[in-house]
Structure 1
Amino acid sequence: MSTLEGRDRTALLVVDVQNDVMAEADDAEAVVGRIAGLVDRARAQDVPVVWVQHSDEGLVHGGDGWQIVPALVPADGDPRVEKLHGDSFEGTDLEGVLAGLGVGRLVVAGAESDACIRSTIHGAFARGYDTILVGDAHTSGDKTAWGAPTPAQVAAHMNLYWSFQSAPGKTAGVVEADDVVFG
Structure 2
Amino acid sequence: MSIRSGSNAALVVVDVQVDVVANAWERDRIVANVALAVRRARDAGVVVVWVQHDDAELKYDTSGWAWVPELSPLPTEPLVRKHFNSAFEGTELDSLLDGLGVAHVFLAGAATNWCIRATAYAALERGFDVTLLSDAHTTEDMVLSSGRVIEAQSVVDDLNIALRWLAYPGRANAAAPTAEVEFGSRTEG
Using the size of structure 2 for normalisation, the TM-score is 0.94
Q: Does residue 155 of the first structure (1) align with residue 156 of the second (2)?
A: yes
Report matched runs for 1:1-183 at 5 Å.
Answer: 1-5=1-5, 7-146=6-145, 147-183=148-184
AA at the equivalent of 2:78: P
1:159–1:27 distance in 2 versus 1, CA, 3 Å: same
**Per-residue deviation, 1:144:** 2.6
Identical pairs, percent: 39
What is the CA–CA distance in structure 2 between the aligned matches of 1:17 and 1:53, rounded to whole Å? 8
For 1:154 and 1:114, how far apart are their aligned partners in 2? Answer: 6
How many residue pairs are counted as aligned between the two chains?
182
Instruction: Tell me which amino acid in the other structure corresponds to 1:178.
Output: A
Give me the whole-angstrom Cα distance separating, in 2, the residues matched to 1:85 and 1:79. 18
Moved over 3 A (4+): 145-148
2:69 alignment partner AA: P
Which runs of 5 or more structure 2 residues have no equivalent in the other structure? 185-189
| Alignment RMSD (CA, Å) | 1.0
User: By percentage of residues, which structure has more helix?
Assistant: 1
Give CA-to-partner distance per residue, 1:61-116, whole Å, 9 cap, x none: 11111111110000111000000000100000001111111111000000000000
* SS of structure 1 residue aligned to 2:57: coil
Q: Which 5+ residue runs of structure 1 have no aligned equivalent? A: none
Aligned AA (1:40): R
Amino acid at match of 2:117: R
Mark the CA change 1:118 to 1:39 in structure 2 (over 3 Å): closer, same or farther: same
Shift of 1:162: 1.5
